[in-house]
Structure 1
Amino acid sequence: MSGASDRRLTAFDKLLQRGERDPRTRSSGVGIDLLDVVPEWEAFVAAYDRASRTAVRLRERIVSPSIPVTAPRWIIDPDFDLRYHLRRVRLPGDGSHRELLDLAEQIAMTPLDESRPLWTVTLVEGLDGGGAAVVTSMSHVISDGLGMVAMFAALYDTQRAARQGEMPLVPVPQDLDSRELTIDGIRGLPGAALGLTWDVLGKGLSGLVRPVATVTNAASYAGSLNRVVASFSATEPSPLLARRGASRRMVTHDLDFARLRGAAKALGGSVNDAYLAAVCATMRRYHAALGLPIDRLPMAIPVSLRSKGDADGGNHWTGMAIGAPIAETQPAAIIADVHAQVAAGRAEPAADVMNVLSNVTAALPDALYAEIAGLVRPADVQASNVPSYPVDTYLAGAKVMATYAMGPVPGIAVMIVMLTRAGKAFLGVRYDTDSIRDDELFERCLVEGFEEVLSAGGQPAAAVPVKTGPGAHSERLGAGRAKSPAPTRKRSAATKNPATPKTAVPTKPTAPTKTASPRKTTAKATKAAPARRRTGGTA
């Protein structure tokens, strides 16, 4: 059990782990990298082998006690098998971006094996314009968005030539099962109780010495906590997005980051403000087009709490709720409204509400926790902004042309993640197909909503296609071919669930030996790993 005691799951991580057991609250997300060429399989495997020896969380799995006398632990899996986590398939159809996204959705909705490290990587070949895609499925329990960016710096290179040098040593595995962890927890109960007693006593004595300050601070925090908790139900949800189901759909959109940054500056806000304003414009257009305009809808925004010394693994963020002003038609006014709400939320003493609530619910039995969690009304939309690498990156000799982060959809209608990388902003959108009923309309509103904000900020207008389904991979890989329209998906029972595409055809990888309702559609070389670029706003 050596080394296990400093790898406890936090109460917040445990909350996310619980969500994995329900398809509607599962915290797993998917990342999609588009590569300009198909990497050599041996080099691809070697890159992940090297990364897993440096970013040790990739080799760790969770062990939970038989009875809740202590926190679950991360241990380095003694049975770690890289061949299980790496897969290789070929798209069986036309190889379009739409087919790739449907495959990625199928992967996203497949539960991860909790007896192993909580991730898989699938190399996808057979794309219509050549190249390949890498679909990474990973539990949010492993880390938050910024943590994953830092963790995967061990994977990417800054030159096409593969990283040279000796392979790092294999991390020492640990043997620890649920029974042993339970016994260890029982043995530690007296010490834990004593520590809690001293903590309470210390705070009590501090209150006696400074009674007025203590009471004032407690009252101030209680008032802040009440405001923060109330904010999550302060805005009425949209009746148009009321239904929730079990099926999801993905869509992507690319932006020039310089255009977004220029528009934000011209409109008097940050990049994050302009991004949220464009999300508001998207939702306004969708509601108006369906004849049900509303003033506001509840929007959740994750706010990073990461500091410089935090480990890459684990979650360091909290949640914030705002009333997204989707009736407003002037982007500058939307930005001012959103900026004021976000600033007020950040200033609350109880802004770290997620950690507070997770500590309160951590010891509750799963059944009781599920009942309480069911009382919390989820937001309609969640919008995240994740700054990534500022330079071009490569994976096993292949250049990464685009990266889309497809976040989880835990009871919300729409999840939008903007990931900025090497001068581009890549939007990854997942939505509940029972909430968003018209794919073509929503995807058109997404493009037009962002162009609305960019144009208002003085940026040259870009042509908005009538159908906004993603086009051929060859265009994304710079082949200069004219964009092909997205294939039309008929309204039929066989295609209602976008997460059930044609079965991808597995190839035969030559892995090395073991190292430890019906819908409409449309449109590392020898150089150091790239540093993260931080921008204003949420992460």
Structure 2
Amino acid sequence: MSQSKTTMSAVDKSWLRMDSPANPMMISTVLIFDQPISLKRLKRTLHERFLCFRRFRQRVVQEGERVYWQDDPLFDIDNHIHRIALPGDGSQGELQALTSDLASTAMDHRRPLWHIHYIDGYEGGCALVVRIHHCIADGISLVRVLLSLTDNTPEAKLSRIATTHPSTDNSVESSLRRFSQRVLDSGQTALEQGKLFLHSMRKEPGYPVKMATTAGNIAMDLVKLGFARFEPKTGLRPPLSGRKQVAWAEPLSLAEVKLCARALRGTANDVLLCAATGALQRHFREIGEHIPECGIRVAVPFNLRPLTQPIETLGNQFGLVLVCLPVEVNCPLMRFRQVQENMNRLKRSYQAQVTYSLLDLFGRGPDILERRALALLSNKASAVLTNVPGPKEAVYLAGAKLVQPMFWVPQSGNIGIGMSIFSYAGTVQFGITIDRAINADPNAVMGYFRESFAELRDVALQRNEHATAQTAS
């Protein structure tokens, strides 16, 4: 097998460097199915639809400050798939304990950075715990890759696996040819950008002024990010232990979430962020901790890759935005309006593009520069919160129906809480991972999330009924 090397992109290199004993940079996924899956068929599916991405056959190689992807000469899929059974009664608590343990365990960098644990007999079916390092791709891309393993019906057939090998042409002539092609591609890109600029000027005379205004707005967002206040000192930000606790809630009805959003003239995302805000407020109250008067912030990944674009190449294409959650606001309706206003303001900003550019810049510099910058930025958020749309209908993997999917992105620096929202087949899944040093029960927080949503839903429906009654009279 070829051991040719490919230079890792600066942004992916940034995520690789973020690995720490307190926060391994892994995206973790739990997939629960209604029936057992044949391991033979699962491996065939992975060969055909997962390993077609070369990254999953490659390991990370570091040479000084340079980092490469290199084909693993000893790659074997059996090194990455482990079949186990849960101890005790094999309940959800046991699966959460296993997932917590795996989420706390760093990966072996001598092999490709992904693993799948097949859980036998879980709730009469089975479960998969999937871990993939963040340097391979961002959460949205990896969720789409994992969903590409599935079918819309249980009867879908796999085609015969074609054994392919990457090119082994490492000659000087081949290297010069690849370099020349990159130069040609860059020149063509520059030419196309120049034509686009001239076309825009002819079509819109004020285009240069508009560009200058945009550049000024980007610079202003960079300044705002740099001078944003540090997070208040709360029990959510102690020194981390590196041991994770994972939990997930019973799914919400997506129809109910959308109904609530329509009644409040907002979005489903606004509703769910408001429910997360209420859950954190309830947590502060239950443990008797003072609620910060200026709210707390969460880092929210913002996708920069078009969702309609096929996932042909992996890598990270997203930025981060800092969203203020008004945990100090008691009224559910006022809390919702504040969340909505904060989100609308961020949608008009360039913060996601700024943070993506910063990651690209950090990845090109020395490791110590990135770690200092990361420490600075991670002091400006108390948690990471993701919201990813999934399939509208149920899907099947190797003939088994996917009943419940959950996933968690890693937290960086000294952030110890990750919350995830995932819509699937008419439901909304909510999960959380919390560092053990934080005084919080993850299952209790899951309950607070459902209670907070129910409180907002009831207020929204009562308000809607009152408005309807007034219109009728």
- TM norm structure 2: 0.82
Matched letter for residue 262 of structure 1: L
74, 83, 89: which one aligns with 2:78: 83
Query: In the superposition, relative to structure 1, how do residues 174 and 314 fare at CA in structure 2: closer, same or farther (>3 Å)?
Result: same
* Whole-Å separation in 1 of the counterparts to 2:425 and 2:211: 48
Counterpart of 2:398 in structure 1 is 396
96, 100, 106: which one aligns with 2:95: 100
250, 253, 258: which one aligns with 1:256: 253
* Whole-Å separation in 1 of the counterparts to 2:103 and 2:168: 30
Identity, in percent, stands at: 25
Paired residues for 1:289-308 under 5 Å: 289-291=286-288, 292-295=290-293, 296-307=295-306, 308=308
- What's the secondary structure of 2:15's corresponding residue? helix
Query: In the superposition, relative to structure 1, how do residues 385 and 176 fare at CA in structure 2: closer, same or farther (>3 Å)?
Result: farther
Query: In the superposition, relative to structure 1, how do residues 242 and 355 fare at CA in structure 2: closer, same or farther (>3 Å)?
Result: closer
Query: What is the CA distance between 1:162 and its match in structure 2?
Result: 4.8
* Whole-Å separation in 1 of the counterparts to 2:344 and 2:3: 40
Counterpart of 2:140 in structure 1 is 146
Query: What is the CA distance between 1:83 and its match in structure 2?
Result: 0.8
* Whole-Å separation in 2 of the counterparts to 1:332 and 1:363: 45
Counterpart of 1:132 in structure 2 is 126
Query: What is the CA distance between 1:213 and its match in structure 2?
Result: 7.9
CA contact (8 A) 2:247 2:431 kept: yes
CA contact (8 A) 1:404 1:426 kept: yes
CA contact (8 A) 1:302 1:384 kept: yes
CA contact (8 A) 1:252 1:429 kept: yes
Paired residues for 1:489-504 under 5 Å: none
CA contact (8 A) 2:232 2:292 kept: no
CA contact (8 A) 2:50 2:145 kept: no
Q: Do residues 361 (structure 1) and 362 (structure 2) align?
A: yes
CA contact (8 A) 1:54 1:154 kept: no
Matched letter for residue 381 of structure 1: A
* Whole-Å separation in 1 of the counterparts to 2:255 and 2:89: 33
Query: In the superposition, relative to structure 1, how do residues 220 and 408 fare at CA in structure 2: closer, same or farther (>3 Å)?
Result: closer
Query: What is the CA distance between 1:422 and its match in structure 2?
Result: 0.9
Q: Do residues 36 (structure 1) and 34 (structure 2) align?
A: yes
276, 279, 284: which one aligns with 1:279: 276
Considering only aligned residues, what root-mean-square deviation do their CA atoms show, in Å?
A: 3.4
- What's the secondary structure of 1:148's corresponding residue? helix
- What's the secondary structure of 2:50's corresponding residue? helix
Q: Do residues 322 (structure 1) and 330 (structure 2) align?
A: no
- What's the secondary structure of 1:326's corresponding residue? coil
Query: What is the CA distance between 1:360 and its match in structure 2?
Result: 2.5
CA contact (8 A) 1:53 1:171 kept: no
Query: What is the CA distance between 1:440 and its match in structure 2?
Result: 5.8
Query: What is the CA distance between 1:402 and its match in structure 2?
Result: 0.4
Matched letter for residue 398 of structure 1: A
Query: What is the CA distance between 1:339 and its match in structure 2?
Result: 2.2
Structure 2: runs of 5+ lacking an equivalent = 198-206, 463-473
154, 163, 169: which one aligns with 1:170: 163
Query: In the superposition, relative to structure 1, how do residues 339 and 136 fare at CA in structure 2: closer, same or farther (>3 Å)?
Result: same
- What's the secondary structure of 2:124's corresponding residue? coil
Query: What is the CA distance between 1:216 and its match in structure 2?
Result: 5.9
- What's the secondary structure of 2:223's corresponding residue? helix
Query: In the superposition, relative to structure 1, how do residues 8 and 343 fare at CA in structure 2: closer, same or farther (>3 Å)?
Result: farther
Residues 159-187 of structure 1, C-alpha deviations (whole Å, 9 max, x = no match): 222523322x234236699xx99xx89x9
Counterpart of 2:50 in structure 1 is 52
Query: In the superposition, relative to structure 1, how do residues 33 and 218 fare at CA in structure 2: closer, same or farther (>3 Å)?
Result: closer
Q: Do residues 224 (structure 1) and 218 (structure 2) align?
A: no
* Whole-Å separation in 2 of the counterparts to 1:136 and 1:26: 14
Counterpart of 1:419 in structure 2 is 422
Query: In the superposition, relative to structure 1, how do residues 3 and 123 fare at CA in structure 2: closer, same or farther (>3 Å)?
Result: closer
* Whole-Å separation in 1 of the counterparts to 2:139 and 2:219: 30
* Whole-Å separation in 2 of the counterparts to 1:420 and 1:11: 31
CA contact (8 A) 1:318 1:354 kept: yes
CA contact (8 A) 1:32 1:405 kept: yes
CA contact (8 A) 2:12 2:363 kept: no
- What's the secondary structure of 1:143's corresponding residue? coil
Matched letter for residue 292 of structure 2: I
- What's the secondary structure of 1:457's corresponding residue? helix
- What's the secondary structure of 1:352's corresponding residue? helix
107, 112, 116: which one aligns with 2:107: 112
- What's the secondary structure of 1:29's corresponding residue? strand
Query: What is the CA distance between 1:3 and its match in structure 2?
Result: 12
CA contact (8 A) 1:268 1:332 kept: no
Matched letter for residue 358 of structure 2: L
Matched letter for residue 393 of structure 1: V
Query: What is the CA distance between 1:146 and its match in structure 2?
Result: 2.1
- What's the secondary structure of 1:58's corresponding residue? helix
121, 125, 140: which one aligns with 2:116: 121
CA contact (8 A) 1:301 1:321 kept: yes
- What's the secondary structure of 2:387's corresponding residue? strand
Paired residues for 1:140-539 under 5 Å: 140-167=134-161, 169-173=162-166, 218-230=215-227, 233-234=228-229, 236-245=231-240, 246-253=242-249, 254-291=251-288, 292-295=290-293, 296-307=295-306, 308-309=308-309, 311-312=311-312, 313-376=314-377, 377-410=379-412, 411-439=414-442, 441-458=444-461
Query: In the superposition, relative to structure 1, how do residues 358 and 271 fare at CA in structure 2: closer, same or farther (>3 Å)?
Result: same
